[in-house]
Each structure stands twice: as C-alpha cells, then as structure tokens.
C-alpha cells in the first residue's frame, strides 16, 4: 500500500474518534490538548494530532467501538486509572506509573525542555543548575512528577497553557514542558520571542495507558497491530503530516 493511500485511509477513519456519549460506546478514550500529539480544535472540538491519528487507525484495525473525549489532563488521567474499559493518551510511561496501567505503545517520543524569559540574564544549561529555582509545571504531568521526585521546586497549575503568562509575571523562574508542546503554546498565545527554549533535559516515550482490568489479550492485540502500523509505513506517514 502506498504512503499516500495510507494517509487517506487514516483521515477517513479518524471521524470514528469524534466525541460521542461514552454510554453509547464500548471503549472510552480520554486525552488532553497536547500539540502536536493531541490537538483540540477550539471551534469545532475536533481532536487530531499524531497520537490521535495513530490511535484512530489502531482502533479501526482492532474493530473497536470507541468514544474519545478531551479533558484537563488530571481528569483524563484519573478516569483511566479509576474507570474500567478506559484508556488515556498520550501518557508518559515511567517507573512510578508502571503498575497504574496496562500499556500500548510507544506512540511517540517526547523531548523535555526548560524554557525561560528571553530577557532573563540567568542562563542555566543543566538540570542541576536549576536547583535554586522554581519551575512551572502542571498537575499529574510526568515532567512535574519527575522534578518533584528529584527534589526540585515546582509550581503546579491545572493546565500547561497557563504557565507562559505566569512565567512572564514572575510567579516562578523557569518553565519545564515538552519541546513541541511549549512551542505550540507560545505560538498560539503570540509569545514567541518573549519566552525561549534553553536546554533539553530528558526524552521519554508516550503510550496509550489503559485501566488495569483491561483484558491482556486485548492489550496484546493492540500492541501487535501498532507494530504492524510501524512496519507498513502508517506511523511514518502520520508523523510526516505534522512536521
């Protein structure tokens, strides 16, 4: 199958993952606005993005009936932890979270960056140099969890989109976020040039994370199908669209 044909097929089937009443569906999928992996159109509510398109194609191949809804991350994350037949993406897989879910993936890789004000005279270049400072993060995000476990000082909000303004107002010293997410937020808020990336400090893989009661046969099938998507070029075609 040609790559162009694969892209058309993915686009034609992503409509299956439009928001629908969860009660009318078998499998509930939750996510957040985390460009370019999960993107929520503010006007239409349509959910797209690299991970979203991969999950759409995966569920099509698995013949799953699904409902997809976007929430603030803390709620989306807790729903998959607490509600049977529910999965959340894009979820960083870490040792601390390993036993919380059953895992399908990886879907994407995510680079973690420190951002700072362009007019700030302080220029840290390593994570250890961040010890004296407070870093802005958001609740239940893997980056914030990582920093807290490492003993760093953090200021957590409900959504990462709040952090650029807080940084500019001096509510904390630096902003810790995903490289691509940070760039997307700054672009959407017209703050490019006022806040800049300083350095990369970690790379993680992000997954579809499912409630622990999910049948292992189902998880195994989804992982098998995702590997097929990697081999046949589907994943590469999806990723290319967002570069």
CATH of the domain at 125: 3.40.190.10
Identify whether residues 13 and 102 lie together within a single domain. yes
Least confident span in 11-20, 42-51, 149-158, 231-240: 11-20
Can you give the pTM of this predicted structure?
0.84
pLDDT at site 53:
98
**Of the candidates 194, 155, 151, 159, which has an alpha carbon nearest to the alpha carbon of residue 173?**
155
Identify whether residues 152 and 122 lie together within a single domain. yes
Identify whether residues 75 and 127 lie together within a single domain. no
Identify whether residues 199 and 212 lie together within a single domain. no
Identify whether residues 53 and 31 lie together within a single domain. yes
Identify whether residues 210 and 101 lie together within a single domain. yes
Q: What percent of the chain has pLDDT over 70?
A: 90
The CA distance from 86 to 76, in Å, is 10
92 pairs with which residues across the strands? Answer: 206
Number of domains in the chain: 2
Expressed as residue numbers, the domain containing 133 is 110-203
**Of the candidates 139, 114, 117, which has an alpha carbon nearest to the alpha carbon of residue 127?**
114
Identify whether residues 31 and 89 lie together within a single domain. yes
Identify whether residues 105 and 211 lie together within a single domain. yes
Identify whether residues 234 and 136 lie together within a single domain. no
Identify whether residues 15 and 104 lie together within a single domain. yes
Identify whether residues 176 and 235 lie together within a single domain. no
pLDDT in tens, 200-227: 999 999 999 999 999 999 999 999 999 9
């Amino acid at each position: 199958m040609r790559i162009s044909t694969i892209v058309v097929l993915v686009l034609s089937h992503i409509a299956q993952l439009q928001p629908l009443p969860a009660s009318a569906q078998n499998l509930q999928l939750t996510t957040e606005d985390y460009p370019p992996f999960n993107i929520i159109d503010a006007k239409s509510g349509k959910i797209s993005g690299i991970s979203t398109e991969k999950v759409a194609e995966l569920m099509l191949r698995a013949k799953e009936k699904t409902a997809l809804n976007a929430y603030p991350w803390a709620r989306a994350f807790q729903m998959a932890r607490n509600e049977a037949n529910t999965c959340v993406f894009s979820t960083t897989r870490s040792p601390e979270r390993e036993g919380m879910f059953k895992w399908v993936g990886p879907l994407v890789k995510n680079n973690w960056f420190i951002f700072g004000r362009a007019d700030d005279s302080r220029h840290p270049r390593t994570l250890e140099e961040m010890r004296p400072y407070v870093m802005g993060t958001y609740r239940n995000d893997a980056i914030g969890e990582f920093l807290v476990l490492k003993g760093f000082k953090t200021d957590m909000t409900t959504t990462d989109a709040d952090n650029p303004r807080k940084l500019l107002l001096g509510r904390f010293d630096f902003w810790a976020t995903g490289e691509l997410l940070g760039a997307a937020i700054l672009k959407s808020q017209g703050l490019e040039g006022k806040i800049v990336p300083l350095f990369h400090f970690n790379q993680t893989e992000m997954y579809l994370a499912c409630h622990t009661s999910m049948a292992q046969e189902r998880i195994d099938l989804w992982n098998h199908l995702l590997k097929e998507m990697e081999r046949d070029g589907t994943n590469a075609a999806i990723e290319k669209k967002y570069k």
